[in-house]
Chains A and B, each alone.
Chain A
Amino acid sequence: MDFHEYQSPDPADTIEPDAARAHLVVIGNGMAGCRAVEELLARDAGRHRVTIFGAEPHVNYNRIMLSPVLAGEKSFDEIVINDHDWYADNQIDLIAGDPIVAIDRTAKTVTSKAGRTVVYDKLLIATGSDPFIIPVPGHDLPGVISFRDMSDVDAMLAAAAQGGDAVVIGGGLLGLEAAHGLTLRGMKVTVLHLMPTLMERQLDEAAGWLLKQALEARGQAILTGADTAEIYGGGKVEGVRLKDGRDIPASLVVMAVGIRPSVALARASGLAVGRGIHVDDHMVTSDPDVLAVGECVEHDGQVYGLVAPLWDMCRALADGLVEKHTGYRGSVASTKLKVAGLNVFSAGDFSGGEACEDIVLRDAARGIYKRVVLREDRVVGAVLYGDTADGGWYFDLLKRQEDVADIRDVLIYGQVFASGGRRADPKAAVAALSADAEICGCNGVSKGQVVACIEAGNATLDAVRATCKASASCGSCTGMVESLLAVTLGDDYAGERATKTICGCTSFGHDDVRREIVAQGLRSIPEVMQKLHWTTPDGCSSCRPALNYYLLCAWPGEYEDDQQSRFVNERLHANIQKDGTYSVVPRMWGGITSPKELRAIADVVEKYNAPMVKVTGGQRLDIFGIRKEDLPAVWADLNAAGMVSGHAYGKALRTVKTCVGSEWCRFGTQDSTGLGVKLERMSWGSWMPHKFKIAVSGCPRNCAEATIKDFGVVCVESGYELHVGGNGGMKVRATDLLCKVATEQEAMEYCAAFIQLYREEARYLERTAPWTERVGLDAIKTRIVDDAEGRAALAERFLFSQRFSQDDPWADRAAGHDRNHHAPMARFTPQKEMA
């Protein structure tokens, strides 16, 4: 390595106090300590005699530039801030490689590890942070390191020279930089991140997702939601095992899960310490002769892990030392990061709150995401991904609290646009474009072509899309095309298109979104929101459940269900009641039960004091008044008697209702209960756009009321009549007859095909009745009855997706999964009785 070890004076040397000047001793030779000394020297160079103790054997270097050193972009010499000459020129005694181990505030001395004791007049603690090491088994194995100082970089470089696999634990700023450096050095890197998205403290979900995509494209494996169970190896690290059982081999493990203010020394000396060393506005600790600065301090309840606040702290500290007090007032944080050529920026409070507005710009083609948060016409936060050129400008607007009402419409386009005088309304901006300016990048359509298309009589957005293809693909130029319609047609433009959007978060309708999910291969909610230009950061209670369903339907077995995008009933697998308790309906196949099941239900009712049991319209027993906390125990008891979830709570297959049929009834023509049980066994557990009910009646007397069900079978002597699209409820609709089939086998196949057609093509929260009316019975018959091949393919897709959905969700919860959904986070018992 090309850095120089600093030769400190021999410990036996005594350092004589200079009576003329106050002696300032600095613990910490890092960025904060040296910056503070620089600030002090700039104000009054002769005021103090300075001694700096550093734990590392180096001169003062720029710690945040360790990443480029690791990546091979810089040498150590290039990141040195102050070289030996600086110390010599300013008569600073540097004692490097010898950490201070004790402070005696009564005697006003510090003692180093090597045994030096030095007297101070003023003491400055700038010990920075310590890397946080998760105390998992194996954390102390050779080969497990942190990423904090030059020795860590050396260790990583030595490991990389051997090649092989590395694991970085922690997907924050530091972890990602370590991962990037190791990747460039030729290691195969896996990043383990506990949280669902990367850098969640600096980035919102959308930006975190984009970052993950881009890093994966650069060859890193990124596992989110990855909880480390242990680091294993015989004598040295060999791999990491996760709590879910996954096993990642590695010869190097970099632990970069976070940093903690380094306060042990201060605490041992009796200074006031919270999360950091308590300081006032002048960086003075609870002892007036002891100051502290940097990442080790806590000011006004805040600790900072970034470099920018240091500058302000050091300024205030130096002003105080020369008795021209100005004071530190806290910092607004901003983060600008570049990893593997990816630009990321965040500043301030980018989550909003009361009266906050989000302005979001997504440019899927260029991989850009920008979000500016306003409160009362002032910028309070920003997240930028892909294009961070305007980060400084937004940060400046934020710090100055400038009123941006005048430029609000164009704020998101950045400083050049906002201040370039082109801030007239978007119509004027589009009108000003030349005829050959490109409007639609996806289909290469110019403004001239769009205008010609409109002038040829295409007076709506859909007509324009159908004719010249502008805005027909990704949709990001929809606004521009609409502006062109308005400009070209003037008063003749009818305005907004007729297609109803999913919700206010998007300009796309349900069918558009479903088509694009499949066409573009979109596989997660953030990805859909990014590629389809959602205008809100994380959607709303209308679009999120819809997207979750569409993804689940499009990618069976691959898509991981998002619990937080589910309505409470589907999250807790029970029905919420108005008093906040839940009702529980175990599945009874085809409405048939047994003494064992009935006994188990009776026992549950008594054991959990359920106030009511009710027979439902779908031939089930509904147990009311179960507390959220008791649900897993109730399910365990019902599971023990062989019963599974009845999905009475879901947009899912609810019940198959049957009459007794030929087995008992003198009118019965076929085994309706038997067929009902088979249909329920086939279709239970499937998620649907809305609830789905089936019934099988054994004869045309139709005791199972099959003709007001989503799928109804009416048995006749010669076979089975299949009915579709019925429901009871607010607007009763009797079924339409789909067709008649001869065998049970066929009835099953038609049922599977119909369910899958509904699952794939109906809109979320659209039951089969309105869906059938919207698309027409003929369209359904064409697909299910006339097209045998298509029917078989639909049925096959349904059965395939069922392979992943027929796990009893109750059994999972009863076994302790997602315990958080049920248990309170804490219980609080006030000492005094409540009023």
Chain B
Amino acid sequence: MIGDWLDIGWLDEIPPRGSRTIQVAGGDDVAVFRTGDNRVFALADRCPHKHGRLSQGIVHGNAVACPLHNWRIALATGEAQGADKGCTPVVPVRVSGGRVLICRASTLKAAA
């Protein structure tokens, strides 16, 4: 249904093994990641540890390393990897015709 997905732009606007942010008025940013093999994920831009901006981390494989304390967060689940425990809200994403769409309801929830 129209309105469930937010069209945020072209896939090519996100660098491979990189990330861009979506500013949500009145809330935290959402980070949109693109892996080396062109999968796209979105998470609240907030590490479960000390709220580091995950969008600024190094993307490798299917994880991102938080820039503050190098926690490794799985992009698909938002779960901290290894010995660290914690979880970041996930925002469903899909790519359609080269456009990146993120789930509106989850975006509002993640940003709140």
Contact B6 A828 (CB under 8 A): yes
Complex alpha-carbon distance, A219 and B4, angstroms: 49
Q: What is the minimal beta-carbon distance from B31 to any residue of chain A, in angstroms?
A: 10
Contact A541 B26 (CB under 8 A): no
Contact A834 B111 (CB under 8 A): yes
- Interface residues of A, dominant DSSP: loop
Contact B8 A353 (CB under 8 A): no
Which one of A194, A301, A538, A567 contacts B61 once the chains associate, using CB atoms below 8 Å?
A: A538
| A524 beta carbon closer than 8 Å to chain B | no
Kindly supply a per-residue 1/0 record for chain B positions 64-83, scoring 1 wherever the CB is within 8 Å of any chain A CB and 0 otherwise. Answer: 01011010101111000000
| A594 beta carbon closer than 8 Å to chain B | no
With A351-B38, A353-B76, A564-B17 as contacts: A828 and B58 at CB distance below 8 Å: no
| A42 beta carbon closer than 8 Å to chain B | no
Which chain A residues lie closer than 8 Å to B27 at the CB level?
Answer: 834
Which one of A205, A275, A539 contacts B97 once the chains associate, using CB atoms below 8 Å?
A: A275
Nearest residue (CB) in B for A572 is: B56
* Interface-lining segment among A428-436, A513-521, A818-826: A818-826
Contact B37 A537 (CB under 8 A): yes
Which one of B9, B62, B77 contacts A351 once the chains associate, using CB atoms below 8 Å?
A: B62
| B13 beta carbon closer than 8 Å to chain A | yes
Q: What is the minimal beta-carbon distance from B59 to any residue of chain A, in angstroms?
A: 7
| A568 beta carbon closer than 8 Å to chain B | yes
Nearest residue (CB) in A for B78 is: A354
Assign chain B's interface to a size class. 35 or more
With A354-B74, A828-B24 as contacts: A536 and B60 at CB distance below 8 Å: yes
Nearest residue (CB) in A for B97 is: A275
Number of A residues near B (Cβ < 8 Å) is: 50
| A230 beta carbon closer than 8 Å to chain B | no
Point out which of B15, B27, B56 has the most chain A C-beta atoms below 10 A from its C-beta.
B56
Which chain A residues lie closer than 8 Å to B14 at the CB level?
Answer: 825
Give B68-112 interface residues, CB cut-off 8 Å to A: 68, 70, 72, 74-77, 94, 96-97, 107-108, 111-112
With A567-B67, A824-B20 as contacts: A200 and B58 at CB distance below 8 Å: no
Complex alpha-carbon distance, A355 and B67, angstroms: 23
Which one of B25, B50, B59, B112 contacts A564 once the chains associate, using CB atoms below 8 Å?
A: B59
Give A805-829 interface residues, CB cut-off 8 Å to B: 820, 824-829
Complex A-B: 24 CB contacts under 8 Å: A195-B16, A200-B37, A201-B38, A205-B36, A275-B96, A301-B94, A301-B96, A349-B39, A354-B76, A356-B62, A540-B60, A563-B15, A563-B18, A567-B58, A568-B67, A576-B67, A824-B20, A824-B23, A825-B20, A825-B22, A826-B8, A828-B107, A830-B26, A834-B24
Chain B residues with a Cβ under 8 A of chain A:
6, 8-9, 12-18, 20-27, 29, 32, 35-39, 50-53, 56-62, 65, 67-68, 70, 72, 74-77, 94, 96-97, 107-108, 111-112
**7 smallest A-B Cβ distances: which pairs?**
A541-B65, A825-B20, A351-B37, A354-B76, A568-B56, A538-B36, A829-B25
